[in-house]
Structure 1
Amino acid sequence: MATKSLSNLSLTSYSLYNAASDSIANWSRGFILTALKRITIGEIGIKDITANETLQFGKPGKLSTTLTVNSSAMWWRVLSRGSLGFSEAYMLGEVDCDDMTSFLEIMVYNRNDTADMKTPLSYLTSSMAHYDLSNDMFAAFLSPDMTYSCPKWLPADNAESKTDNLEKAQIRKLQEIIQQARIKKEDHVLEIGTGWGSFAIEAKQEAETRIAAAGFEKNITVLLKDYRELPKQGLLFDKVVSIEMLEHVGKAHLPGYFGTVNELLKKEGGIAVFQSSTMPETFHSTISDMQLQFYHLQIFPGAHLPTATQMVEAANQGSGGSLIPDRLINLGGHYSRCLRGWRENFADNFESRIMPALMERNGGVTKSDIEIFRKKWMFYFYFCEAGFKTKTLGVTMITFVREGSVDTLEGLVQ
């Protein structure tokens, strides 16, 4: 579910911050600056307009950025509300940054030394976006296939990697899933969480090529239904696929989700492939509600990023051990380049395509509302890009099989 209005920031009283005394602001500022002195990786410059002062922290190197503080309210927001307070300050123009991704990376790398100030991005998790917004808006930053998930880029040593583009990378990811699921011409395939249907289209086209060659043009049916209704109808599928939908199931519901998959997947030879954004195992146990607030309140309420272990354990619990882990691929390193491309497309097309779509869909919005909305999305892209670049976020593609699923042995010498 997305926020109901463009400016629904869930801020705890603008007046509280605006009315904060100079002494509180200065105390907060001093506390945060003391913590920043412990930065050892990267360099952060701070131009404090309100104090007419420029400060430097850390060491010169590959990562360097400058924050411009336009309002002393920013210090109290960050100290009292962590990453949520920082995101609000950015959206409200209280702080700007010349390279937000680098800033977030620096904060991640130094999180152990600065954790006592509840720094923004001390810990990163997921952010999925507001799916009930205009399709025109998504079309303005996604690739033409409208795939809203992690792609698969060519490796750097491939001669064609420099000319690789997002659409090709998305199709390559879909082809990887098709291969992992060993989809054949006679298969009935269920996709849970279709988005704009790029996987269904790609899988159908891939299969139809083979089917047409074999003379079986009507061998595939694409079903658009709530997957939870399917067990009641007695439907069974040879293959089940879900691409970055698992994050929205919720931690408590993961075993039930895999239980439903277990009911839908054929007992003989069934294969299921899931792609999900994930968090590191140790990282997950240390995260706090404060550090999750930006995502839960601003981007996708209720979202939960599992660890790879949680996915395996939930599948085992929900299926009674009959969904067997077969292969795991980490695609997380492919996401930062994708997010950077989405951010650039979003920024380039905001005034010409996104803003008109927002105004048409949301009558009566103000320029201030739209600017807050723009900055929230920009911060979302920055936030996630930094998470994947520092490997504090990952993407796991995991294949589960039934006992005796010999299709997975294809291509191996027996």
Structure 2
Amino acid sequence: MTLEKNRRDQGAPVASTQGVPSLEPLRGGPRTAISAAVAKRLFHAAVNRLDITVVEGRSGSRLGQGGPTMHIHRPDEFYARLGRDHLIGFGEAYMTGAWDAEDLAGFLTVPAARIATLIPEPLQRMRAFLAPRLPGHQRSTEANSQANISHHYDLSNEMFELFLDDTLSYSSALFDTSSTLTTAGPGSVGDHLVATPPEPTDSADPVLHSPDLAEAQGRKIERLLDEAGVTDGTRVLEIGTGWGELAIRAARRGATVRTITLSIEQLELAEERIAAAGFADRVTVQLMDYRALAATGATYDAVLSVEMIEAVGHEFWGTYFQTIDQVLAPGGRVAIQAITMPHDRMLATRDGQTWINKYIFPGGFLPSVEVIDQITRNETTLRLTEQLEMGSHYAETLRRWDRRFLSQRDAVHALGFDDLFMRVWHFYLAYSQAGFASGYINVSQLTFTRENT
């Protein structure tokens, strides 16, 4: 489905493209008119308090206090989608081309920094009644989890290779290990380390691989392995294989590794990469849900997981950490890289469906560091002993991914993906970059040990 077709017939259903669900058609009538009018009023009130510029329709009327610019090409459609589907509608209006922004991430960063206060508090309290709920088939039960993971990670290994670096790491890089010790604040549970923000530099040609990104991804993994105490002879469990880079690096240290995934495509390529690196005898890759681990009876000296907890679902965070607790050998260590959000925003948005859920990660939901600490203290023998906060590094990682993805348009098309897919993924990468750049979301490496060990 192309954007030109969307523009020709706004009222017709937008057919699904590979990896993108169908858009619901807009319908006329009093209810649509009223919700659009309310949305317009709230949007104008919010925009006029922000350092952005919004140019509306053919009249060219301007809103905002100046800054990154948004162009609303089709105001009627934009406000109708925003009124009907709120933030999901905001993203869908971008998908159809009803609005645009030249610097999409820069524009989105401004409202993201004040997302909790843009809507009047009385309306915020109505969120639970107005916001769409996460569909039952997306909840991360054992029956649903593989389909949720497959929706995203089984799109195409070749597509991911177009914008990732040579390590095929699909998580935040760590560009510099220098850090400062910071006292407890939002998004932490005590004194913790904050990584020094990276400089936003990369190759002049985004099509080329950026060696320093691959080095930064390796630096991230090596730090996690150090935190987990992985050395020669260590028995390692990895929950969430990705494309095998952590398993390879752990095996290179002399460890034996069991790594589990629910992505068939990732499993196949990870096994190829592990064999090519010469570690097939040290690494076992299995298609397995983390909940099945306890039944195997095996224990491990180190358990690692990189940005997998986001797919667990808040109902199952206790199960996730209890499973890790059960399989961790005496004296073992756990190192997890987790995307998090502030605790109050987590509580306010729990059980709701977001644009990211609908189009990118079905069933996904971000924990807070506080809830991770609470669950491990109340339901396991694990204790959070160290946190390295590195959100600025994820903003830079995403900036590079997005830049390279956009430069590979012809190659993405050659894989069978269309312009709507390109637009969805550009919005996803820019939206995520804005979240980290604004501090609305964060990412940390978290280290756990057992009490009195």
Query: Do Structure 1 and Structure 2 share a fold, with TM-score over 0.5?
Result: yes
Q: Any conservation in 2 of the 1:188–1:220 contact (CA below 8 Å)?
A: no
* Aligned with residue 376 of structure 1, among 424, 429, 438: 424
Q: CA deviation at 1:178?
A: 1.1
Provide the C-alpha distance between the structure 2 equivalents of 1:134 and 1:166, rounded to a whole number of angstroms. 22
The 1:171/1:228 distance shift into structure 2, 3 A limit, reads same
Provide the C-alpha distance between the structure 2 equivalents of 1:183 and 1:279, rounded to a whole number of angstroms. 29
Q: Any conservation in 2 of the 1:186–1:220 contact (CA below 8 Å)?
A: no
Quote the residue 1:175 is aligned against.
Answer: 222
Q: Any conservation in 2 of the 1:312–1:325 contact (CA below 8 Å)?
A: yes
Quote the residue 1:347 is aligned against.
Answer: 406
- Secondary structure at the aligned position of 2:336 is classed as strand
- Secondary structure at the aligned position of 1:66 is classed as strand
Provide the C-alpha distance between the structure 2 equivalents of 1:158 and 1:385, rounded to a whole number of angstroms. 14
Q: CA deviation at 1:328?
A: 1.3
Q: Any conservation in 2 of the 1:325–1:401 contact (CA below 8 Å)?
A: yes
Quote the residue 2:86 is aligned against.
Answer: 82
Q: Which runs of 5+ in 1 are unaligned?
A: 209-216, 360-369, 406-414
Provide the C-alpha distance between the structure 1 equivalents of 2:115 and 2:198, rounded to a whole number of angstroms. 38
Provide the C-alpha distance between the structure 2 equivalents of 1:247 and 1:354, rounded to a whole number of angstroms. 26
Q: Any conservation in 2 of the 1:105–1:389 contact (CA below 8 Å)?
A: yes
Quote the residue 1:136 is aligned against.
Answer: 158
Q: Any conservation in 2 of the 1:151–1:173 contact (CA below 8 Å)?
A: yes
For 1:62-84, what per-residue CA distance to the aligned partner results, in whole angstroms no more than 9, with x for missing partners? x4223232352111111221111
Quote the residue 2:316 is aligned against.
Answer: 253
For 1:161-209, what per-residue CA distance to the aligned partner results, in whole angstroms no more than 9, with x for missing partners? 957721111000001101111112121111110110110111222338x
Quote the residue 1:16 is aligned against.
Answer: 27
Provide the C-alpha distance between the structure 1 equivalents of 2:319 and 2:391, rounded to a whole number of angstroms. 26
Provide the C-alpha distance between the structure 2 equivalents of 1:303 and 1:87, rounded to a whole number of angstroms. 17
Q: In the alignment, residue 311 of structure 1 is paired with which amino acid?
A: I
Provide the C-alpha distance between the structure 2 equivalents of 1:103 and 1:218, rounded to a whole number of angstroms. 45
For 1:119-167, what per-residue CA distance to the aligned partner results, in whole angstroms no more than 9, with x for missing partners? xxxx9xxx99811111000000111110001110126989999577211
Provide the C-alpha distance between the structure 1 equivalents of 2:446 and 2:221, rounded to a whole number of angstroms. 14
Provide the C-alpha distance between the structure 2 equivalents of 1:332 and 1:107, rounded to a whole number of angstroms. 17
The 5 Å alignment of 1:14-413 reads: 14-16=25-27, 27-28=37-38, 30-32=40-42, 34-36=44-46, 38-39=48-49, 41-49=50-58, 52-58=59-65, 60=66, 63-111=67-115, 114-116=118-120, 130-154=152-176, 165-207=212-254, 221-225=282-286, 226=288, 227-267=290-330, 269-287=331-349, 292-319=353-380, 322-351=381-410, 353-358=411-416, 370-405=418-453
Quote the residue 2:188 is aligned against.
Answer: none
Provide the C-alpha distance between the structure 2 equivalents of 1:66 and 1:299, rounded to a whole number of angstroms. 23
Provide the C-alpha distance between the structure 2 equivalents of 1:288 and 1:25, rounded to a whole number of angstroms. 24
Aligned-residue Cα RMSD (Å) equals 3.2
The count of residues paired between Structure 1 and Structure 2 equals: 364
Taking structure 1 as the reference length, the TM-score comes to 0.79
Q: CA deviation at 1:389?
A: 0.5
Q: Which runs of 5+ in 2 are unaligned?
A: 1-15, 125-130, 132-147, 179-194, 203-210, 256-277
Q: Any conservation in 2 of the 1:273–1:397 contact (CA below 8 Å)?
A: yes
Aligned sequence identity (%):
27
For 1:5-52, what per-residue CA distance to the aligned partner results, in whole angstroms no more than 9, with x for missing partners? 52743533x1416x789965973575145414541x412131413xx2
Provide the C-alpha distance between the structure 2 equivalents of 1:336 and 1:158, rounded to a whole number of angstroms. 10
The 1:343/1:34 distance shift into structure 2, 3 A limit, reads closer
The 1:32/1:193 distance shift into structure 2, 3 A limit, reads same
Q: CA deviation at 1:234?
A: 2.0
Q: CA deviation at 1:245?
A: 0.6
Q: Any conservation in 2 of the 1:330–1:394 contact (CA below 8 Å)?
A: yes
The 1:65/1:205 distance shift into structure 2, 3 A limit, reads same
For 1:321-341, what per-residue CA distance to the aligned partner results, in whole angstroms no more than 9, with x for missing partners? x21221111121210011011
Q: Any conservation in 1 of the 2:56–2:75 contact (CA below 8 Å)?
A: no
- Secondary structure at the aligned position of 2:219 is classed as helix
Moved more, 24-33 or 148-157: 24-33
Q: In the alignment, residue 378 of structure 1 is paired with which amino acid?
A: H
Q: Any conservation in 2 of the 1:332–1:388 contact (CA below 8 Å)?
A: yes
Q: In the alignment, residue 89 of structure 2 is paired with which amino acid?
A: G
Q: Any conservation in 1 of the 2:35–2:83 contact (CA below 8 Å)?
A: no
Q: CA deviation at 1:284?
A: 1.8
Quote the residue 1:362 is aligned against.
Answer: none
For 1:63-117, what per-residue CA distance to the aligned partner results, in whole angstroms no more than 9, with x for missing partners? 4223232352111111221111011111111111122212212212344553148
Moved more, 28-37 or 296-305: 28-37
- Secondary structure at the aligned position of 2:253 is classed as helix
Q: CA deviation at 1:403?
A: 3.7
- Secondary structure at the aligned position of 2:254 is classed as helix
Kindly name which structure, 1 or 2, has the bigger radius of gyration based on alpha carbons: 1
Provide the C-alpha distance between the structure 1 equivalents of 2:43 and 2:85, rounded to a whole number of angstroms. 16
Provide the C-alpha distance between the structure 1 equivalents of 2:368 and 2:116, rounded to a whole number of angstroms. 21
The 1:356/1:105 distance shift into structure 2, 3 A limit, reads same
- Secondary structure at the aligned position of 1:270 is classed as strand
Provide the C-alpha distance between the structure 1 equivalents of 2:197 and 2:116, rounded to a whole number of angstroms. 37
